[in-house]
Amino acid sequence: MTRVQRRGIEIAFEAVGDGPAVVLLHSFLCSGAMWQNQVGPLAAHNRVINIDCRGHGASSRVSRAFNLYDMVEDTLSVLDVLRIDRAAWAGLSIGGMIALRAALRAPDRLSALVLVDTDAGPERLWSRLKYTALGGLVRVCGVRPVLWQIRRQMFGRTTRQRKPDLVAEWVDRFARVDIPSALRTLEALNERDDLFPRLGEINVPALVLVGAEDQSLPPDRSRRLARALPHARLVEIPGAGHLSSLEQPAAVTNAMLDFLQGAEGSSP
């Protein structure tokens, strides 16, 4: 993997293919490997930049507090090194939250948005309390006592029943995350700001994808997001939970390809 340094933190990424640029940003507790089924098909038409967010994958571990706007700047630093002025930003969960903030902070750097199993609102009070409690448990006992809950939050019922090997593979990955990095990322998620009052400013085409069985950020969040964006369309993925790119890869890939091919050159 290639790495770029920003303020002492190394951000790891891979860039493959030629054509209009597409940035891929993964979910909390995952890495760019989450997009393993999408990279090849996308790279047939696009230059794909698959990034490991700070604290995840091959990027630097983090122990100091940060916010989602710091993660926007991390991504922009990768694009700067690659001399890419504009790209479509595709993100799942926290990745989508980063992409939305980039669309508001640096609108000239985005040509389109693909927002997968994500939300534009702040964390809800009950969820903040729950995640803070879980974070405290992880800090004392490690991640293994909460893996059963992470499993249910990340994967839909259909996947848990029909793809146990996939679930087991990723639960093992979750078990090996760097705990301080995960806790700092959880803080950034819990403290995120509300973007809904500003979504009308986003003037690029957007595809909103959501797993029909997503328990972490349920489909009603994506429906509200799609309604609030001026140029968005919504696609719900049957049989998928929160990690829909892994659970129903063909459906997610086809929706992304169809959208990106139509979006090229069509930004309002």
Q: Could you list the mean pLDDT of each consecutive 10-residue stretch along the chain, which spans 268 residues?
A: 93 97 97 98 98 97 96 98 98 98 98 98 81 77 87 97 98 94 94 97 98 97 98 98 98 98 64
The per-residue pLDDT for 268 is 43
Number of structural domains in the chain: 1
Instruction: Please state the φ and ψ torsions of residue 194, each to the nearest 5 degrees.
Output: -90, 120
Query: In angstroms, rounded to a whole number, what is the distance separating the alpha carbons of residues 35 and 144?
Result: 25
105 falls within a domain: yes
Instruction: Determine contact, residues 204/113, Cβ cutoff 8 Å.
Output: yes
88 falls within a domain: yes
The per-residue pLDDT for 131 is 72
Alpha helices in the chain (DSSP H): 36-43, 68-81, 94-105, 125-141, 147-154, 157-162, 164-175, 179-190, 219-228, 244-247, 249-263
Three-class SS state of 17: coil
Residues written for the chain: 268
Alpha-carbon radius of gyration of the chain: 17
Instruction: Determine contact, residues 211/249, Cβ cutoff 8 Å.
Output: no
The per-residue pLDDT for 267 is 46
268 falls within a domain: no
List the CATH number of the domain containing 232. Answer: 3.40.50.1820
The per-residue pLDDT for 266 is 53
Instruction: Determine contact, residues 109/42, Cβ cutoff 8 Å.
Output: no
Query: In angstroms, rounded to a whole number, what is the distance separating the alpha carbons of residues 176 and 251?
Result: 29
Query: In angstroms, rounded to a whole number, what is the distance separating the alpha carbons of residues 175 and 90?
Result: 26
Number of helical H runs and strand E runs in the chain: 11, 8
Instruction: Please state the φ and ψ torsions of residue 196, each to the nearest 5 degrees.
Output: -55, -40
240 falls within a domain: yes
Three-class SS state of 113: strand
Cβ-based neighbour number of residue 206 at 10 Å: 27
Q: Find the domain containing 147 and state its range.
A: 2-263
Cβ-based neighbour number of residue 2 at 10 Å: 13
185 falls within a domain: yes
188 falls within a domain: yes
Considering only CA atoms, which of 236, 203, 231 is closest in space to residue 221?
Answer: 236
181 falls within a domain: yes
